[in-house]
Structure 1
């Protein structure tokens, strides 16, 4: 249930076929209700009565602060916030005194399915019929370039891309190459292979299959080796994820033979990608999504809500595994330095601090070592009940992401997520500030309801900030790009006059 507490008014607001307010005559009755509500929520979520023993069983002794936030060590949130505010490279995030100003709007050639933002000259709109190239500018993306049609006689149409729209795209090799992964069929997430698209020639140069030890396997997601690896001109590897697999694929063919789809007479069998590193888990991990840090560490979200952290050296054993709060994690992102994670669930975002102090007094993050028991409680980002109701009962959060940086010393300043026709933006520094007004007099995990909404006239496909280098001097953030099926819009953050 979407419920917001207002302690100073002894009131709770909630959504149930409308927005309702429940007000209590005494503070005692208000507090008793909150305790009972939290206990019932725990029991409904985990199937156990909300006793200390059962909370220990669900969360483990290292994560009791997640069940009892009042005893959690939140000092890491404050320490990280201090270092952020002192960083010379960090501008002030968007606040109430600033506006989101629409700069550009472009109509799409076909229904946009995904958005591939570049950090160099171009970005790409992947639609039902093909790929539209657009130009990157300091105030957003616009200006149509080439359009490559999936079914118009190009090498794309001679591959099976003509029959299935790619749902996942990945820029590589200094953004001169794009990987396109299509699902096996309608309502299926998995894929048996992908296509390598050469951006400079507008052709698919290779069609690859996923396989290991002579057996065809599937993948449900792919991502770059690290936050900035799409800018590496020599990069040939990327990461893959399936329900119970985490691996690194290498596009360098072990036999030195590369398929040429431009040659329509080629009858060569589709080459298999080289499994370079990884692990196939026996069962039960139910991986859903993943992301990488600046150094290539990996964070993975699961169906049971768990979030696992893997170091750059091993994909077999997670260094840290955060327990689930009961909702599947459908998307995950991580900051460049690996200190912060944002996970997306249907009804809220979960922000996790991975920083801890080891037994020698050294500050590390959870990708580098086991975090022990001094672990900060997460914070939740939610819509208030009215906005949740306006978003619609069938609309869910998807694809929450930090603003985009690819170098040390730069700081992510915002989190953006999509729900229905809303693009929702949180000030990340505000989220980390323990004295923030949202957190006062709250019981349970701290929840932040302070955000900006950009409303579109159609359901939003994706909302993302452009690369940090496109942040101009009079703006605290790079432009925000919002794609709906039929158009893409760019917004800059400007000071009110």
Structure 2
């Protein structure tokens, strides 16, 4: 297909200093196709002068150039596949047209994302000079990825090789007891927990998954006490603490928004709420949007009394102990107040969305603008490293136990970042410990193929990507898992890091890995997580994978079949 039959120039977006397009061939620019629900919005855009690049092919394809198109290119076939109300494949007559299309798509994607022309100077403005490898991956230092592959093979946790012919085998499937499952809280000890809209089901941990009908804690007035604000509210987050004998339950104040002014502390052994806590700073009630443990293995600490909190512009540590050493509980006349022991309230604009911790308590935070910030375990005031965004909000973030790898979730792709760098003294460090300078490797993206993205359904957004669960120095995470609609998608971590992997051949731009396994369920998946690595057995390189839908929970083992 000739390039001129694909692209049509209809309008021009605002450009810096009134400059004009630099290309001489026809351009893929027009207003987006109008839907019945968006006619008024489009009219407003026309009045305000806003416009963007659109790919137009004949009368059937008219799509805004964006990551949502899930474009995948095949240089050896001169072909490009993408999603636009279906899955399409375009084949080009010659190498010149193919290369021209790919180059233009990359330029227009940058312009649509950042609202400025795709020039070298503008890329430096967006990414920063230290991160120019993110805009020009071919110029980035990829040696840290190669070093990481070597260290993986040498690590004590890699005695069982990760093979390409691994199979997923379903071990258990059980119906949920009570209401629809809202989230998973996996334990590293004896039990795990299914949080539903009516209560919490306790299940047993086994080497092949979780199952069994254990104790059920109802969200009722009897469990919560008179006057509790949570009697008719479903927890959005459940956090295990104190050797997994206690659970912190966080419920949103209003539907559709994650923020809350407090949380409830559940004693799992008695099934009773022992304290209803309130978030407060300097005598003023404040909100939190998320909470997490102090470190990767903190939930197993029997004496743990602190945890981390995150709000749009706040990062802090809360302490459940009274400043005077007196244990607070519901017998107090007023709601007990958590102690803000450490943290920082930033000026508006950080727009924090999610966070996670390493084994030593360092903190990674994802933001609405796509930035990912790294904080050391001894300061929350200033990030040691701030990775630029790629234009999509980070909705979830995870980090390996050793802090070397960061996994960010966006709606349309996962971003994997290596935080390793060599300092001026030749020592290898992570971005949590110091400024990384300019020897920063380009990230890698994990994506669905256009066909799988379309098959995943209308709600085909990535959610909750996680590494497999390790809480010991020297052990290596082996897999990554994310949820997309009815899919649970699993990547082999070593394969993603392997620069010679076939997925990366002849790719343009950031390297994207499409080699994964899929667990398909009949209903939308609520959550997918690997159990703690101690539950891995001899014939499997990985602990079981737990997949929850609203009404069922399943456990899968990864077996080595020849």
Distance in 2 separating the partners of 1:454 and 1:282:
43
Q: What is the CA distance between 1:87 and its match in structure 2?
A: 1.4
Q: Provide the secondary structure at the position in 2 that maps to 1:32.
A: helix
1:371 and 2:441 equivalent? no
Distance in 2 separating the partners of 1:260 and 1:210:
15
1:191 and 2:256 equivalent? no
Q: What is the CA distance between 1:250 and its match in structure 2?
A: 0.4
Select 1:302's aligned residue among 334, 351, 367: 367
The 1:267–1:353 alpha-carbon spacing in structure 2 relative to 1, beyond 3 Å, is closer
Q: Provide the secondary structure at the position in 1 that maps to 2:231.
A: helix
Alignment match, 2:40? none
Distance in 1 separating the partners of 2:404 and 2:226:
43
Alignment match, 2:90? 22
Q: Provide the secondary structure at the position in 1 that maps to 2:123.
A: helix
1:181 and 2:181 equivalent? no
Deviations 1:386-445 (A, max 9, x none): 000001233210000000000101000000000100000000000000000000000100
Distance in 2 separating the partners of 1:457 and 1:158:
39
1:446 and 2:511 equivalent? yes
Alignment match, 1:235? 304
The 1:223–1:326 alpha-carbon spacing in structure 2 relative to 1, beyond 3 Å, is same
Where do 1:329-478 residues align within 5 Å? 329-478=394-543
Alignment match, 2:235? 166
Distance in 1 separating the partners of 2:324 and 2:219:
29
Q: What is the CA distance between 1:456 and its match in structure 2?
A: 0.7
Q: Retained in 2: the 8 A contact 1:327–1:346?
A: yes
Q: Where do 5+ consecutive residues of structure 2 fail to align?
A: 1-68
Distance in 1 separating the partners of 2:332 and 2:427:
58
User: What TM-score, normalized to structure 1?
Assistant: 0.97
Where do 1:266-285 residues align within 5 Å? 266=331, 268-285=333-350
Alignment match, 1:39? 107
Alignment match, 1:13? 81
1:496 and 2:561 equivalent? yes
Q: Retained in 2: the 8 A contact 1:56–1:64?
A: yes
Distance in 2 separating the partners of 1:157 and 1:75:
60
Q: Provide the secondary structure at the position in 2 that maps to 1:79.
A: helix
Distance in 2 separating the partners of 1:208 and 1:189:
17
Q: What is the CA distance between 1:314 and its match in structure 2?
A: 0.7
Distance in 1 separating the partners of 2:288 and 2:160:
40
User: What TM-score, normalized to structure 2?
Assistant: 0.86
1:66 and 2:66 equivalent? no
Q: What is the CA distance between 1:188 and its match in structure 2?
A: 1.4
Higher mean C-alpha displacement, 329-338 vs 83-92: 83-92
Distance in 2 separating the partners of 1:434 and 1:72:
13
Select 1:122's aligned residue among 181, 191, 205: 191
Q: Retained in 2: the 8 A contact 1:299–1:308?
A: yes
Q: Retained in 2: the 8 A contact 1:229–1:235?
A: yes
Distance in 2 separating the partners of 1:158 and 1:468:
41
Distance in 1 separating the partners of 2:543 and 2:300:
18
Q: Relative contact order (C-alpha < 8 Å, sep 6+): which is higher?
A: 1
Distance in 1 separating the partners of 2:225 and 2:191:
20
Larger radius of gyration: 2
Distance in 2 separating the partners of 1:93 and 1:390:
32
Distance in 1 separating the partners of 2:389 and 2:160:
32
Where do 1:301-320 residues align within 5 Å? 301-320=366-385
Q: What is the CA distance between 1:20 and its match in structure 2?
A: 0.4
Q: Where do 5+ consecutive residues of structure 1 fail to align?
A: none
Q: What is the CA distance between 1:64 and its match in structure 2?
A: 0.3
Deviations 1:112-160 (A, max 9, x none): 1110000000000111110100000000000111001002632367622
Deviations 1:233-266 (A, max 9, x none): 11110000000000000000124454544xxxx5
Q: Retained in 1: the 8 A contact 2:491–2:517?
A: yes
Distance in 2 separating the partners of 1:394 and 1:348:
14
Distance in 2 separating the partners of 1:270 and 1:392:
44
Where do 1:99-178 residues align within 5 Å? 99-108=167-176, 109-151=178-220, 153-155=222-224, 159-178=228-247
The list of structure 1 runs, each at least 4 consecutive aligned residues, that deviate by more than 6 angstroms after superposition, is none
Distance in 2 separating the partners of 1:195 and 1:93:
43
Higher mean C-alpha displacement, 160-169 vs 467-476: 160-169
Q: What is the CA distance between 1:337 and its match in structure 2?
A: 0.3
Q: What is the CA distance between 1:457 and its match in structure 2?
A: 0.9
Distance in 1 separating the partners of 2:162 and 2:212:
27
Higher mean C-alpha displacement, 221-230 vs 392-401: 392-401
Distance in 2 separating the partners of 1:91 and 1:467:
18
Q: Retained in 2: the 8 A contact 1:40–1:50?
A: yes
Q: Retained in 1: the 8 A contact 2:459–2:484?
A: no
Distance in 1 separating the partners of 2:195 and 2:458:
28
Deviations 1:192-212 (A, max 9, x none): 000111111111100100000
* Count, aligned residues: 493
Q: Retained in 2: the 8 A contact 1:247–1:276?
A: yes
Q: What is the CA distance between 1:88 and its match in structure 2?
A: 2.4
Q: Provide the secondary structure at the position in 2 that maps to 1:36.
A: helix
